[in-house]
Each structure stands twice: as structure tokens, then as C-alpha cells.
Amino acid sequence: MALAHQLFRQKPITPPAAAPGGMERRIGTFQLAMFGVGGTVGTGVFFVMHEAVPLAGPAVILSFLLAGLAAGLSAVCYAEMASAVPASGSTYSYAYATLGEIVAMGVAACLLLEYGVSTSAVAVGWSDYLSRLLLDLFGWHLPEVIKAGPFAGGVINLPAVVLVFLCALLLIRGTSESAAVNTIMVLIKVGVLILFGCIAFTAFNADNFADFAPMGASGVTAAAGTIFFTFIGLDAVSTAGDEVKNPQKTLPRALLIALCTVIAVYLFIAISALGTQPWQAFTDPDQAEAGLAVILEDVVGSSWPAIVLSAGAVISIFSVTLVCLYGQTRILFAIARDGLLPSVFARVSRRTHTPVFNTVVVATVVALLAGFVPLSSLWDLVSIGTLCAFIVVSTGVIVLRVRRPDLPRGFRVPGYPVTPILSIAACLYILTGLHWSTYAWFVGWVAVVLGFYLLWGRKHSRLNDPQDAPETPVEAAP
């Protein structure tokens, strides 16, 4: 087989199977939409806001709108791709079916980077809110030695490590159980955020918006780039393609429900929080950890609202970690099922119908990153991975319309081809706000993954001999 043909061969699009690879279709539309909300709402408002406001000032509201616009246009494209290619693996699978194998592996590098870094960094943020909650409730100060990694004055961030393994145990227990727990946590988190907004509006002062855009358009773009990674939850919805009932209809509906919910919550919290204090206060070191809880304490002059918020944040960020960890395991599952990773990553337990080995490996790596490596400066790496994934999906819509116009689609992008082109343009514009060092790290990581593909993956691809390819291995029940 010619090398060029190998690199750009495309995976056939097949109808969704009843139990693909040993997994079971148990997730419905509402639970799947809550996956999207659970994986998105939390990071953007509980601690990334304090990274973004200093970049744009009150104009961070425009940054949320810009990021939401780009994510919204991309989500519509995701909806069409999910209905046309209803398989696990998210953007990786869409790229494989439309743009070729090597492009799919490049996208896989983006996805593994964004999920790995974001899951670890979110777990670290959870540790901060847990520490704040224990202090407010019981007066306990977590020792610095177990609260921070070796580069932040401690030895290990133990709460973050514990969180990752708790999420892993839940995912191993079963997908439907994980979805049910996530739904409960999402409803609690949205309720807590509504409570925050209502209390914050009692101290609303329009003068805090007077110097609306102190850093100009460049600040708005830079903040949008930092915020954008939080929309990773929308991508996580499409990683569940093999475990969703009626995926050609359920996936598009869940994506659109999650998108509308996320944007509404983000704008509500951003406006209410900015109305309580000057934007410069968001740089206060006291707000670096558990910032929204500090804002409520200042507004009310009492600790009880902050305790409620901290408890809500602990639950909220747990759900973000759970969904992101789930997304990464399903992407690895899809890659291994296609033969581009060792088949052990695609083994599914006959008892729980989950990829147990895969989940344990991912949890171990993520826990090590969360426990020992400072990741707070790597938000932009997650954003660049997410933006590239969104660009590929929007491009895939156009390519698939041209190559397979008669392919059944449960949802079609409105305003085609303008909508996918606008989606690509919006993502490219946000990319211009990222620092050059982000691009350097990103290119280096993608080069490593593509090197592995060229040396090992392409030789083991199931497309080398699709007729004789083995079925996805299933573990014996313990």
C-alpha cells in the first residue's frame, strides 16, 4: 500500500451497532446533555474567571460571548457530524471518516492533550475549594505538605489525587451509574450558581463597568482564548457515541441543550460577579483560591453563603473531572479499537461494560500530573487543542457534504456552508490571542504523537486488512 494512501485512508461510516465493542447503549438525551453541562460549567466560573478578568477587565463578558459564539457555531457542526458518524471517539472519529488517518491522529493528539491537562488542572482547583470548605465548616487547615505539589511549596496535592481515583472508580463501576451521579451533581451545581448570582446582584454596582475594556480588543481576544477550553464539555458529549440510545438523534439534541445552558449560566455569573467589585479586585491574592466564595463573604458579611458556594464548587468540579476523565478514556478506546494503539486499551469488562484497564491507566497518569506538576499556566494548551478540534469538525462537515451528500443525517447545519465557515473563522480569530509559547508546546506534543503513529500505529491499523481484523476484545467477567 502506498504511503500516501496509508496516511489519508478513511474509516468507513457504518450504522450504529446495538452493543459496539462490548459496551451498552444506556444513556438518554437528558443525561447526555448533563454530561455536556457537567464537563463545561464549573471551570469557567469557579476559578478560570479570575484568570480571564485581569486580561480583559469588565469586557470579559464579551470574551465569554466570543468564546460562546465560536463554541456555538462549532456545536452546530458537531451536531451534524454526530448524527452522520454516530461513533465513540468524538473529533478523532469524525476526522478519520472525512480527512484521513494521519489527520485523525493529529486530532487525537489535540484531544489527549486537552483532556489530560484540563482534568489534572481542574482536580487541583477542586483541592482549593475543598480546603476552603473544610476551613469554613470545621476550622481545619489542610497542611501545605499535602495540599500542594513540590513546585508549589508542598510534597503532593493529595486531595486532587484522591478526586481522580474516586472518579475512576465511579467510571469503572458503570457508565449509566456515572451518568446518573453526574446528573445529580449538575443540578446541584446549577442551583448553587443561581444562588450566587441572586445574592451577588443585591450588591450590583453599574460603576464597576465604567472602564469597560481597559486592554482593548486584544484583551478580549486573549481572555476568550483562556476561557475557551472550558467548552471542552461539548466535545465530551460526542465521546459517548457508543453508549447512547438512538445516537443519531440523541447526540445532536444533547449538544444543543448543553450549549444553551452553558452560555446562559456563564453570562449570568460573569455579569453578577463583575457587578459586585471593581475588576482589579479579581487579581487579589485572597481570591486566587475559591474566588467566588470570597466574593460572597464580602457581599453578605457572613460565612454561610460562602460555605454553600464552596460545597457547590466541590460537587461541581467533581462532575467536571468525572466527565473529562470519561472523555479521555473513550477517545483512547476508539483509537485502540481502530488498531492505532495497543488493543489492551479497547478491552471492555463483560460485567461492567467499561474499559477498566484504559480507565486505570488514564487515572494514574492524570493523578500524577495533578499531584506533582503545576498546571495552572497551561490553560491555553487546552484551549488550543479544543480550538483545533472544533476547526476539524467544521471542516469535516463541508467535506462530508461534498463526498457523501446522500448520507443519512439526523441533523443538518442551518445556513450551510456559511455556518461551518464562520465557525472556522471564529476559532482562528481566537487562536490569534494565544502566546507563541503555547504554539511551541502544542507543535512539540503533536509531533510526538504523529511520530508514534508513523513508527507503530499505521502498521497496526485495522484498515490494513479490515476483513480479517479481530473484534474488539472483551475481558472475562471476574
pTM value is 0.82
> In this predicted structure, what is the pLDDT of residue 78?
84
Residues in the chain: 478
pLDDT of 123: 85
Q: Decide if 162 is inside a domain.
A: yes
Residue 178 C-alpha cell reads as: 456515572
Q: Is residue 6 part of a domain?
A: no
pLDDT of amino acid 468: 43
- CA-CA distance, 247 to 241, in Å (whole number)? 6
For 118, the grid coordinates are 484540563
Residue 33 lies in a domain: no
State which residues of the chain have pLDDT below 50.
468-478
Q: For residues 113 and 203, give the distance between their C-alpha atoms in angstroms, rounded to a whole number.
A: 40
Question: What is the distance between the alpha carbons of residues 420 and 186, in angstroms, rounded to a whole number?
Answer: 30
Tell me how far apart the alpha carbons of residues 194 and 192 are, in angstroms, rounded to a whole number: 5
| Long-range contacts (CB closer than 8 Å, 24 or more residues apart) made by 405-408 | 407/13, 407/84, 408/84, 408/248
Q: What is the pLDDT of residue 452?
A: 94
What is the pairing mode between strands 474-475 and 348-349? parallel
Residue closest to 164 by CA, chosen among 444, 365, 352: 365
Per-residue pLDDT of 428-463, as tens digits, reads: 988 887 888 888 888 999 999 999 999 999 999 998
- For position 257, which CATH number holds? 1.20.1740.10
| Residue 124 in domain | yes
In a domain, 52, yes or no: yes
Instruction: Report yes or no on 219 lying in a domain.
Output: yes
Q: Is residue 29 part of a domain?
A: no
Q: In whole angstroms, what is the distance from residue 379 CA to residue 285 CA?
A: 19
Quick check: 111 and 326 in contact, CB under 8 A? no
- C-beta separation of 133 from 315 below 8 A: no
pLDDT of residue 14: 75
In a domain, 421, yes or no: yes
Total domains present in the chain: 1
Q: Which domain holds residue 471?
A: 44-475
C-alpha cell of residue 414:
442551518
pLDDT, residue 120, reads: 85
